[in-house]
Amino acid sequence: MDIARTPASPDGNPEMADAAFEPKAPPEIQRSDYTPFAWLIPTIRMEFDLGLDKTRVVTRLDVERNPDADASPTIRLNGDSLELVSITCDGGDCAGHMMDGDDLVVTLEGERHTLEIVTELDPSDNSQLMGLYASNGMLCTQCEAEGFRRITFFPDRPDVLSTYTVRMSGPKAQFPVLLCNGNRTDAGEEGGTHWAEWQDPWPKPSYLFALVAGDLVARTDSFTTASGRKVELNVWVRDGDLDRTEHAMESLKRSMKWDEETFGREYDLDLFNIVAVSDFNMGAMENKGLNIFNTKYVLADPDTATDGDYDGIEGVIGHEYFHNWSGNRITCRDWFQLSLKEGFTVLRDQLFSQDMGSAPVKRIEDVRVLRGVQFPEDSGPLAHPIRPDSYREISNFYTATIYNKGAEVIRMMRTMAGEERFRRGTDLYFDRHDGEAATCEDFVKSIEDGTGMDLTQFRRWYSQAGTPKVRVDLEHTGNSATLKLSQTIPATPGQPNKKPMPIPLKVALFDRQSGENTGEELVVLDQDSAIFTFDGFLQKPVLSINRTFSAPVSIERDVSRDDLVFLAAQDDDPFARYEAMQELMTGYLVGAVTGDLDDAGCKTARGDIAQAMKSVIEDDRLEDLMRGELMSMPSQAYIAEQMLVVDPGRIHAEREALKADLGDRLASQFHALYDRVEGLPFSLDAHAKGARKVKTLVLSYAAASDPAKAAELAAYQYDHSDNMTDRQGALMVLAGLDSPERTDKLQDFYNRYAGNALVIDKWFALQASSLHPDAIDHVKALRGHPDFTLKNPNRVRSLYMAFAANPSAFHAADGEGYDMIADLVLELDPINAQTAARFIPSLGRWRRIEEGRAKLMRDALERVAAAPKLSRDTFEQVTRSLG
């Protein structure tokens, strides 16, 4: 599943707060308490009589005692808000059953039985979008993590694997298309009703069950696997959207071919369906043979989708397809092992996207996400290991730590082993555990055995939370350079003391005069500290470290601006060159915010940054896609992570001042760059995408240094754009300016795309994330817009998640931004708890914020926590954030 692609203590008494809210706490589930389920359910047969307001489900479970589990006279079948119509056992009465809360508990004698359970549902009333729900006249499902229990009573846990046979029936006029997992085996009509039967031959857990019924059309194609199986491919959408599915289909075929060539994995059914749904909590879901997607990750054409949208569609389609093996054929034993499938599959989709486009740019993009979302998570109250030890609500563990850090941990194994040995390890994993519910330990042991590495100490990456900090010192004596490294891992909730972990660091040493290096080496820091010596340097070299971001750590070093300017211009590793530019700007901004740099120091630093930026702009060896990364400023979130106590207002002011200074100093170079790339015809090749990227960056620098001229240029670009990337880039800049062009183009954009939900989402997000001083008032006004609704997660995220990620507006000194998010959570929680809970982390960083704002953030959290009848999702997030 793809998640939709985030100090001094203030006054208050957290102990009293915890005591007041503890009665609401859901039970804590411990990984150490895992035991196999007492019953096996090898086969399930389901019959659905479909209707938007009433769906009747008949489920027949063949159950038998599990010889590998402790015997139990009862079987617990999980339910959630279900209406039980009837239950029978072996065709007769089932006297030995009772309700225990939402669960159905049945007493069974003997070894084998057949249970028949009848439930009735109202899909139109299911605003949580979990289980079976209605979306604009269509029926669809979302069952990960615990949605199947909202369809029927069942042991809704990932280690219960079954083969499913499903019969769906409903009004043909209303639901002309009936889809389910696996292969369709039969179909027919009876009057105005039609039916279809589906059979999935591969045992799967209930969270992978999927069903779709609606009025849909398909783009159809095929793919022939390496062994000769011809697979029918369909991308199902609503009528009118078909012409925006070509990129999705091509992405699917590229994914299938890449997985065969890179990991040796072939598809295993005769049919693969993708369905686009407009109401969806996540990005997409890998249900076996029937992937259900948020429309955002399916629909694209040049007029409505940006380059980022195209890349996102390719990556997410790849991600869900790759789950067919890393998640479906081998699934999780329990939800504590979530990173087994998600971390590994994220790495697979990252490698796929690297091969389909620019590998260095993709690597930088992935690191930027990690630093912008996961690093703050790792240093905050919600920090947890990639394999957690406990949870209260599993939906809260679909986090950047599980996905993105999980991918980085597996990438480190690949880096240490090398690509060939790592492939041997993954082949062994697939061979050993195909058809099983496995654990993270099973994966690590397979990599260990397949590569010959000893990963005993490396396993600490699975159990310890927090981002390691690596202290780096380079000394030079005679003809030798000595690299001294040490690691510390900050305390995190429940883990005050950490043990050293193996940290693989790619390093290179440059001769300052020639600009050459002696070659890249991999060093592994596996103790608290270590020393590495490099000979053959008559003068102190320039160190390039953590090249390609070989480890997810923070590097701490005293490095001169001269060395950073050198690396920004000379480093032959694209990521390290990008890193030097980021360090150069971040170091200056932190010094300016904290007052560590005086006026003279600030002036010198800005000159050095301008010099490095000029070398980037004028380097004709660079492709524009990479040039755009090197020109990009560090985000406010990343700058804040470098500080103990954060003043968001000061960071914003200093960052904008630096942007304006660079815009002034390099005006001629920026405009020459813009003129060089302006007017290229649209295509999706790297050259054209790079041109579009640097055009928007030039506009952003111009907006800070010369707003009037920027508004004029952005309006021109908007009017003459032949693609959404250029048009949205221009509108993004205009949205932050107080100019007549802003109002005119925002209105034109809305009128041009009215009725296109995904593009109107962009219209909301551009205003909510803008640098305009009145952004809060704009969000308030948009909340009352006729096109806004709390019932569609995309629309909620487009307005409020964009606002929560806008530091200058969200962190308004009077706390109005915090109150807006708290109000949203309270209103949204009864409607869609999963979406509501995802807003809490934006308030949960209060400990790192300066005292005045911190108190206001905590006040907002306490107001949410005091509300009656909070969902388990939101309750867990808010209480942990208050902690």
**What is the domain-level CATH number for residue 475?**
2.60.40.1840
Name the nearest CA neighbour of 570 among 585, 580, 560: 580
Residues 131 and 145 in one domain: yes
Residues 525 and 494 in one domain: yes
A 10 A CB-CB count for 402 gives 25
Arithmetic mean of pLDDT, 475-494: 97
Judged against a pLDDT cut of 70, whether residue 10 lies above it is answered with: no
Judged against a pLDDT cut of 60, whether residue 11 lies above it is answered with: no
User: Which segments within 392-547 are labelled E, that is strand?
Assistant: 437-438, 469-477, 480-488, 503-510, 521-525, 529-535, 542-545
CA distance 215 to 188: 17
**What is the domain-level CATH number for residue 155?**
2.60.40.1730
Residue range of the domain that includes 364 = 331-463
CA distance 236 to 242: 8
- Quick one: 288 exposed, middle or buried, by C-beta within 10 A (0-12, 13-18, 19+)? buried
Q: Is residue 121 part of a domain?
A: yes
Arithmetic mean of pLDDT, 398-414: 98
- What sign results for the dihedral spanned by CA atoms 529, 531, 532, 537? positive
- pLDDT band at residue 19 using 50, 70 and 90 as cut-offs: very low
Judged against a pLDDT cut of 70, whether residue 15 lies above it is answered with: no
Residues 371 and 354 in one domain: yes
CA 883 to chain centre: 25
Mean of the per-residue pLDDT values of the chain: 96
Residues 417 and 496 in one domain: no
Name the nearest CA neighbour of 667 among 710, 624, 626, 632: 710
Residues 81 and 208 in one domain: yes
Q: What 3-state class would DSSP assign to 718?
A: helix
pLDDT in tens, 338-377: 999 999 999 999 999 999 999 999 999 999 999 999 999 9
Name the nearest CA neighbour of 145 among 66, 234, 207: 207
- pLDDT band at residue 8 using 50, 70 and 90 as cut-offs: very low
Which residues, at least 6 apart from 381, have a Cβ–Cβ distance to it below 8 Å?
Answer: 493, 844, 847, 880, 881, 882, 883
Name the nearest CA neighbour of 4 among 303, 277, 363, 386: 277
- The pLDDT assigned to 6 comes to 39
Max Cα-Cα span within the chain: 92
Positions annotated as catalytic residues are 320
Q: Residue 872 corresponds to which tokens in the numbers above?
A: 């388990």
CA distance 429 to 7: 44
The total domain count for the chain is 3
Q: State how far the alpha carbon of 264 is from the alpha carbons of 136, 320, 325, in Å.
A: 40, 17, 10
- Quick one: 596 exposed, middle or buried, by C-beta within 10 A (0-12, 13-18, 19+)? exposed
Residues 46 and 163 in one domain: yes
Assess contact for 313 and 207: CB atoms under 8 A.
no
User: Which segments within 172-297 are labelled E, that is strand?
Assistant: 177-180, 183-190, 193-204, 211-214, 217-224, 230-237, 271-277, 284-285, 290-294
Q: Is residue 796 part of a domain?
A: no
Arithmetic mean of pLDDT, 636-658: 96
Where b means 16+ CB within 10 Å and e means fewer, 115-148 reads: bbbbbebbbbebbbbbbbbbbeebbbbbbbbbbb
Judged against a pLDDT cut of 50, whether residue 771 lies above it is answered with: yes
Judged against a pLDDT cut of 60, whether residue 21 lies above it is answered with: no
Arithmetic mean of pLDDT, 317-324: 98
Residues 545 and 438 in one domain: no
Q: Is residue 869 part of a domain?
A: no
Assess contact for 219 and 245: CB atoms under 8 A.
yes
CA distance 586 to 413: 30
Q: Is residue 575 part of a domain?
A: no
In this prediction, what percent of the chain has a pLDDT beyond 70? 98
Arithmetic mean of pLDDT, 663-686: 97
- The pLDDT assigned to 18 comes to 34
Residues 504 and 522 in one domain: yes
Assess contact for 654 and 718: CB atoms under 8 A.
no
CA distance 831 to 33: 32
CA distance 445 to 145: 26
pLDDT in tens, 608-627: 999 999 999 999 999 999 99
Q: Is residue 386 part of a domain?
A: yes
Residue type, 177: V
Q: Which of 414, 440, 463 is the last residue of a domain?
A: 463
- pLDDT band at residue 378 using 50, 70 and 90 as cut-offs: very high
CA distance 269 to 229: 9
In this prediction, what percent of the chain has a pLDDT beyond 90? 97
- pLDDT band at residue 24 using 50, 70 and 90 as cut-offs: low
Q: Which of 198, 215, 232 is the last residue of a domain?
A: 215
Arithmetic mean of pLDDT, 37-48: 98
Q: State how far the alpha carbon of 201 is from the alpha carbons of 31, 333, 472, in Å.
A: 30, 20, 54
Tell me the backbone φ, ψ of residue 493, rounded to 5 degrees: -50, 120
Q: Is residue 589 part of a domain?
A: no
| Cis peptide upstream of residue 145 (ω within 30 degrees of 0) | yes
Arithmetic mean of pLDDT, 750-762: 98
Arithmetic mean of pLDDT, 576-584: 98
**What is the domain-level CATH number for residue 447?**
1.10.390.10
Q: Which of 215, 241, 263 is the last residue of a domain?
A: 215
Q: What 3-state class would DSSP assign to 313?
A: helix
- The pLDDT assigned to 12 comes to 33
- Quick one: 680 exposed, middle or buried, by C-beta within 10 A (0-12, 13-18, 19+)? middle
pLDDT in tens, 426-450: 999 999 999 999 999 999 999 999 9
pLDDT in tens, 801-812: 999 999 999 999
pLDDT in tens, 54-82: 999 999 999 999 999 999 999 999 999 99
Residues 449 and 509 in one domain: no
Q: Is residue 522 part of a domain?
A: yes
CA distance 521 to 415: 12
pLDDT in tens, 677-733: 999 999 999 999 999 999 999 999 999 999 999 999 999 999 999 999 999 999 999
Residues 391 and 477 in one domain: no
Residues 435 and 532 in one domain: no
Q: Is residue 850 part of a domain?
A: no
Q: Residue 230 corresponds to which tokens in the numbers above?
A: 């011809």
CA distance 195 to 47: 10
pLDDT in tens, 812-847: 999 999 999 999 999 999 999 999 999 999 999 999
CA distance 640 to 648: 8
Residues 457 and 531 in one domain: no
